[in-house]
Structure 1
């Protein structure tokens, strides 16, 4: 009986071994970009972000423009030119979570780690690609929301010029906030490894708990509320703050960025220690 033996060298020209080249940073970035754009959930999530953000901004400014013009609303028009992005933020959080939890759910995290044994390089590439995509899309969404909102406001004579104080900062701030918020979702996904759990915790921390902690007595409640991720980070997204007691725009964004960095660092430690 003939015994089959494995070849000692991989097939190649003239039987020469195929040289092995470990994946470099550029290779990992290209792979993460390919994974992000090839997943169906990415397209749907980003489409939801655009439609909700721009659509709701247009809807609310169309509905309230006459009241703002007459003064009946009791609010400044500048508070509404990016109003819909507040709800679009959920899509950014969900996308960031799916970037990592979908790999754990499908089991593709194992071949990813086999291809890139240096786990911090893989994580860094995921963060970089996600943040860059959300920053570019965030800028587009911010300016589109502003254009739609200002169109309806200008028809009633209460338009908000870009040159007004805080307008350009808010538009750029929305893009930055969406980018970091997506990375925040990725950090939660790293820690929890479950899409539903990470999304639920993220929505609670960003949109719910920040309001509940104001019930804490005295200055403790005030400061905890200021430092909650959603309250701190969103300060940079509005032309006029909804809450005058919150942190300043860039101070609050800095706090949120630091909180996100700490969360991702915790996720990185768990990624290094836990099995895939």
Structure 2
């Protein structure tokens, strides 16, 4: 980076001003994320919704799941709350980006870090890391609490195989949602618009495309971001027609990567 100074009427070029490295940008974004109350309120909501609703649903349905009339697997319920917790992941991913655009502080960020792609990468990494850890811990707490009621009915699930995969899969899915939302946030630069569009894609349109007839409708349903990515976060899906867990998550990852690439292009080209 070159700085220009005026000394005694002469223009002096300085070339000793360093651009912040990736480690410095990561520290900066981590401080921004962890020093505002909205982050902690959002993470608390993630835990309460993810773990609390799982325990509540397992307690309420344990008797029915143990009966011969049950048409659902207990595995469908041990991470049930994570379906609702994804809302908070969307909120966090949006706020990390759009708050700075709303206040105008993004201009300061880009002035300090002229390599704008580095800012996008740093915000993405801190969101992914935080949501993966919180999502995995939340899923484990929900499993322990919910499985207690299933065990009392003799239908408890061991923490192995698909159940174990669903624990860290819940963390991966929340991290993926956060990353997806970061990309949309950089594209829209508006908090309400970002949250509304991502929630619509994840929760509403994913169900509405079931109404599209024929094989095209079936594949459209499978490829919607929320449907493709969510299978990894549950041992047994409520919808058996979705893609396999790792296949679906790979599709979701590809969709997220395309959005991130588009966001990177737009961030470099547009004014802040």
- TM-score when normalising by structure 1: 0.91
Distance 2:193 2:186 in 1: 11
Aligned residue for 1:205? Answer: 201
Are the counterparts in 2 of residues 64 and 73 from structure 1 also a CA contact under 8 Å? no
Q: Could you tell me how far apart the structure 2 residues matched to 1:249 and 1:199 are? A: 25
CA distance in 2, matches of 1:196, 1:115: 27
Partner residue of 2:231 out of 232, 235, 244: 235
Decide which of 100, 106, 111 is 1:109's aligned counterpart: 106
**Aligned with 1:26 (options 23, 26, 30):** 23
2:129 aligned with 1:158: no
Alignment partner, residue 42 of structure 1? 39
For 1:183, the equivalent position in structure 2 comes to: 179
- What is the rounded CA distance, in whole Å, between the counterparts of 2:147 and 2:109 in structure 1? 45
Q: Does residue 215 of structure 2 align to residue 219 of structure 1? A: yes
C-alpha distance in 2 between matches for 1:61 and 1:235:
19
Hey, what's the Cα distance between the residues in 2 that align with 1:99 and 1:105? 11
Moved beyond 3 Å, runs of 4+: 6-9
Match of 1:3 in 2: none
Pick one of 140, 143, 158 that aligns with 2:140: 143
For 2:18, what is the secondary structure of its paired residue? Answer: coil
Structure 2: which 5+ runs fail to align?
9-13
Shift of residue 31 of structure 1?
0.2
Cα RMSD, aligned residues only: 1.7
Pairwise CA distance, 1:8: 4.6
How many Å apart are 1:137 and its aligned residue?
1.1
Structure 1 gaps of 5+ residues are 1-5, 10-16
1:214 positional shift: 1.6
Q: State the match for 2:11 in structure 1.
A: none
TM-score by length of 2: 0.93
User: Aligned residue for 1:87?
Assistant: 84
CA shift, 1:20, in A, is 3.1
Using the alignment, how far apart are the partners of 1:230 and 1:245 within structure 2? 14
Structure 1 residue 111, shift from structure 2 partner: 0.5
Size of the alignment, in residue pairs? 263
Once the two structures are TM-superposed, the CA of residue 39 in structure 1 deviates from its matched residue by: 1.7
Q: CA deviation at 1:113?
A: 0.3
